[in-house]
Structure 1
Amino acid sequence: MPLSKPRDTIERGRDLLVLPVAAATTIQQGALVAANASGQAVPGSTSTTLKGVGRAEETVENSGAAGDKSITVKRGVFKFKNSAGDACVQGDTLADCYIVDDETVAKTNGANTRSKAGKILEVEATGVWVEFS
């Protein structure tokens, strides 16, 4: 039924997510966080089944079952290490980059072994600025 009076539609910010952490998983503050196929937070790693989420805002050690603990993940633009063997270059601006581990991204999907992290915004000598959106 259409509105017949004003509605107080609540808002949730887009820059912070709170995700359940996978079982027996530790995620370090500042790590590149990914979501596994079950939607649980895991540290970034070489895998084809992950989705890049953003940066861990805290360190969480979940020694229990999946979802026993949650983690706050910030979305936005963050600088991660550039893969030495598959480096992103400035000409890759606005192209996808791929997860190597929880602090490193690469230019390619590594012959279909890596999941997408986000978009490359800038490449510097000290790392790659990656946008998670």
Structure 2
Amino acid sequence: MSALTADRDTPRRDGRDYGFPVAAGVVCHAGAIACLDASGHATPGASATGLTAVGRFVEHVAGGAEPGAVSVLVETGVFRYVAAEAIDRTAIGADGYIVDDQTVALSDGGGTRSRAGRIVDVEPLGVWIRIGV
């Protein structure tokens, strides 16, 4: 492909909502941390390596018997989740790690957790974390 020599009508997305094929046999609960597994299928957040956090599930979807049989809507942004441990405001700007589909921690659990995103605020009810691709 060569450089443009004229204007181009480039398709765009708003960069906030995405549809992803769902991994086989998983249940995606609305509001849960949404991840992609190593094959690119949506799966709930869990203490595991190799997951890529992409946002939160917008809807409840049960995966079919085969990977990709159904799709789920995922929203990127800043979301409040439960803190697995005491996290104070000094953690703002640090990475948070996935404990389960609604819980984040400051540590990677000795290499057993995937990155959730960047901590942007901390309050008594939980940790606000920026999650997205």
Alignment TM class, shorter chain as reference: over 0.9
Q: 1:65-118: CA deviations, max 9, x gaps?
A: 0000011110010000111xx332210101000000000001100111111000
Q: Which amino acid aligns with 2:24?
A: A
Q: CA RMSD in A?
A: 1.1
1:11-26 alignment to 2 at 5 Å? 11-26=12-27
Unaligned runs of 5+ in 2: none
> Is 1:87–1:107's contact at 8 Å kept on the other side of the alignment?
no
Deviation (angstroms), 1:6: 2.0
Correspondence for 1:72: 73
In the alignment, the residues of structure 2 paired with residue 113 and residue 89 of structure 1 have an alpha-carbon distance, to the nearest angstrom, of 23
1:18-57 alignment to 2 at 5 Å? 18-57=19-58
Correspondence for 1:6: 7
Correspondence for 2:101: 102
In the alignment, the residues of structure 2 paired with residue 2 and residue 108 of structure 1 have an alpha-carbon distance, to the nearest angstrom, of 45
In the alignment, the residues of structure 1 paired with residue 5 and residue 106 of structure 2 have an alpha-carbon distance, to the nearest angstrom, of 52
Correspondence for 2:129: 130
TM-score, scaled relative to structure 1: 0.93
Q: Which amino acid aligns with 2:49?
A: T
Q: Secondary structure at the match of 2:50?
A: coil
Q: Which amino acid aligns with 1:109?
A: D
Q: Secondary structure at the match of 1:8?
A: coil
In the alignment, the residues of structure 1 paired with residue 67 and residue 20 of structure 2 have an alpha-carbon distance, to the nearest angstrom, of 11
Q: Secondary structure at the match of 1:123?
A: strand
Deviation (angstroms), 1:2: 3.2
Q: Which amino acid aligns with 1:6?
A: D
Q: Which amino acid aligns with 2:56?
A: R
In the alignment, the residues of structure 2 paired with residue 15 and residue 3 of structure 1 have an alpha-carbon distance, to the nearest angstrom, of 28
Q: How many residues are matched?
A: 131
